[in-house]
A and B are shown apart, each in its own frame.
Chain A
Amino acid sequence: MHEPVWEFLIVNYLFLGGLSAGLYFVSGLAAWFQEDGQSAFPRLARWGALLAPWPVSLGSVLLIFDLGKPLRFWKLFFHFRWQSPMSIGSWLLVLFTLVSLVNLWAWLEQGERQGLLARIPEAIRSRIPARIRGYLDRDASAWRRTLAMAGFPLAVGVGIYTGVLLGAVQARPFWNTNLVAQMFLFSALSSGAATILLVRLLDKEAMDLKEVRFLYTLDIVLISLEFFIVLPYLIHGELSVLAVREALALILGGPYTLVFWGLFLGAGLLVPLAIEIYEFKPLLTGKGTFHLNPRLAMTAASLVILGGYTLRYVFVFAGQASGFR
């Protein structure tokens, strides 16, 4: 069997791309909900919008560095091959990054926008046509919801694509199921929700309970969906042909068993799910009052992020170790 040719750069990239997709998705959702004609969760939406472009940009840079010929990366955009997930994915990444940057701009306050524009050296700024400068300095807050909607397909596309990239390889039975794409998507979205929860907890402005409830609800739904995809992945795999069972042996007694069950499924999925449901309990049972326990919230959010990363790690490495005989 081959030594793995995709290593940590790819693990990081898959995680970061998914994280951005999740940040954008949660931010968009938060922007979409309204109360009395006002955005219901403006701070969540803003944090998500401000953060979304950066992980995917960093991930794309890592991806380019993983190439044997990094300087040739532009060739990815000049030979469109619809049968190659990577070809479609490269375009998705670029489009998503651009839309998320526009979205970020739309969430800046007037002062921030002008501050950034003022930082552009005068020599360059004077060459930007007045019309474009006018556009850049326009208040786009009315466009935020439209942008959120426009970017949803791209964000979900990026989240799914990171899984399809692996799932589309029929030579690797560990990957070659449609469940991997869904698993990666929901993991991506939940790590986005967890990151927004984490930065809101660290934010100077205290979280209000409405925000906590929104993020907990979202996270519980997303983690549950992920869990109910991991289960059939395991069960269906065990009921599948020999090659798939041999591939699953990598996480059922093989070298990735502990990481998969301990770090991903246990610490990264079930423990945060339990914490969040425990915190959410007053809203379900009507007993006690719903409150925010920052320590527990922070633990849950960090664990979700850890789980998202571990999932990428296990799949990238175990997948390459799987094969047919």
Chain B
Amino acid sequence: MAKKMKRYALVLDSKKCIDCKACVVACKAENEVPVGVYRNRINVEKSGEYPKLRTSFDPEQCHHCDNPSCVRVCPTGASWQREDGIVLVKYDDCVGCKYCIIACPYDARFHHPEKHTVDKCTFCVQRVDRGELPACVETCPSKVRVFGDLNDSKSPIHLLLATRRHRVLKPQTGNGPQLYYLL
């Protein structure tokens, strides 16, 4: 039987996030992301009234959706998806029309100020293909991030999603996001 297809995804246990931004820095160093633009970020939300205050930190990046709207609207096919689910940009085919930036419900894409193409999180494919973890996952000191193959029933993310309640962001857009946030 053929080897089962991989499906990469990322589980985030945001309650463990301390907003240290090590993931952001690691991403920048690994992927040479220029100053002023980011492939990943930490959304900070403050709520409540004194003295009942609450701050939540939710890391976010490209959701590597099952049905990515960025890929659909791309006029040249520069935005594409690997069979293992990772959504990438072919930088040589991108004309920089920015349609995908607008079509992404998660604001995960940006205009690269030096390459003048669109850029985004790649799940660090260069590392993943070597069998390593994405830089943000490897570096996270409070172990918020768990990366792995959803189709591998022995993988830690498979176990986590089978046993822990979780949510995805903006499921109503129909994109089928693959960043899972544990509740």
Which A residues fall within an 8 A CB radius of B? Answer: 1-2, 5-6, 66-69, 72-73, 75-76, 78-79, 81, 83-87, 90, 168-172, 243, 320, 323-325
Bound-state CA distance A87–B75 (Å) is 5
Given contacts A5-B111, A67-B96, A69-B117, contact A168 B102 (CB under 8 A): no
- Using CB atoms, name the residue of chain B closest to A69: B96
How many chain-B residues does the 8 Å CB contact rule pick out?
30
Q: Min CB distance, A85 to chain B, in Å?
A: 7
Q: Min CB distance, A132 to chain B, in Å?
A: 33
Q: Please tell me which one of the listed residues B94, B98, B115, B118 contacts residue A6 in the complex, with CB atoms under 8 A apart.
A: B98
Segment among B1-9, B18-26, B142-150, B169-177 that sits at the interface with chain A: B169-177
Given contacts A68-B118, A320-B102, A324-B170, contact A81 B95 (CB under 8 A): no
What are the 7 tightest A-B residue pairs by CB atom distance, in nearest-first order?
A68-B96, A171-B105, A68-B116, A86-B75, A87-B75, A5-B98, A79-B76
- Using CB atoms, name the residue of chain A closest to B101: A5
Would B107 and A172 count as touching, CB distance under 8 A? Answer: no
Which B residues fall within an 8 A CB radius of A? Answer: 69, 72-77, 93-99, 101-105, 107, 111-112, 115-118, 170, 172-174
Bound-state CA distance A323–B115 (Å) is 27
Would A84 and B107 count as touching, CB distance under 8 A? Answer: no
Known A68-B94, A69-B116, A170-B173; 9 more pairs at CB < 8 Å: A2-B101, A68-B115, A69-B95, A72-B94, A73-B95, A84-B72, A87-B75, A170-B174, A325-B170
What chain B residues lie within 8 Å of A168 (beta carbons)?
73
- Using CB atoms, name the residue of chain A closest to B93: A75
Would A84 and B93 count as touching, CB distance under 8 A? Answer: no
- Using CB atoms, name the residue of chain B closest to A241: B172
What chain B residues lie within 8 Å of A5 (beta carbons)?
98, 101-102, 111
Would B117 and A171 count as touching, CB distance under 8 A? Answer: no
What chain B residues lie within 8 Å of A75 (beta carbons)?
76, 93, 95
Would A68 and B95 count as touching, CB distance under 8 A? Answer: yes
Would B173 and A324 count as touching, CB distance under 8 A? Answer: yes
Would A81 and B103 count as touching, CB distance under 8 A? Answer: no
Q: Min CB distance, B123 to chain A, in Å?
A: 21
Bound-state CA distance A169–B103 (Å) is 5
Q: Please tell me which one of the listed residues A1, A78, A86, A325 contacts residue B73 in the complex, with CB atoms under 8 A apart.
A: A86
Would B116 and A324 count as touching, CB distance under 8 A? Answer: no
What chain A residues lie within 8 Å of B95 (beta carbons)?
67-69, 72-73, 75-76
Would A1 and B75 count as touching, CB distance under 8 A? Answer: no
What chain B residues lie within 8 Å of A85 (beta carbons)?
73
Would A79 and B103 count as touching, CB distance under 8 A? Answer: no
- Using CB atoms, name the residue of chain A closest to B70: A171
Bound-state CA distance A84–B72 (Å) is 6
Bound-state CA distance A243–B174 (Å) is 14
Bound-state CA distance A170–B99 (Å) is 12
A-B contact pairs, 27 of them (CB 8 A): A6-B98, A6-B102, A67-B96, A67-B97, A68-B98, A68-B117, A69-B94, A69-B95, A69-B96, A72-B94, A72-B96, A75-B93, A76-B95, A84-B74, A84-B75, A85-B73, A86-B73, A86-B97, A90-B75, A169-B73, A170-B69, A171-B104, A171-B105, A320-B102, A323-B105, A324-B170, A325-B170
What chain B residues lie within 8 Å of A86 (beta carbons)?
73, 75, 97, 99
Would A76 and B174 count as touching, CB distance under 8 A? Answer: no
What chain B residues lie within 8 Å of A320 (beta carbons)?
102
Q: Min CB distance, A158 to chain B, in Å?
A: 16
Would B98 and A76 count as touching, CB distance under 8 A? Answer: no
What chain A residues lie within 8 Å of B115 (beta carbons)?
68
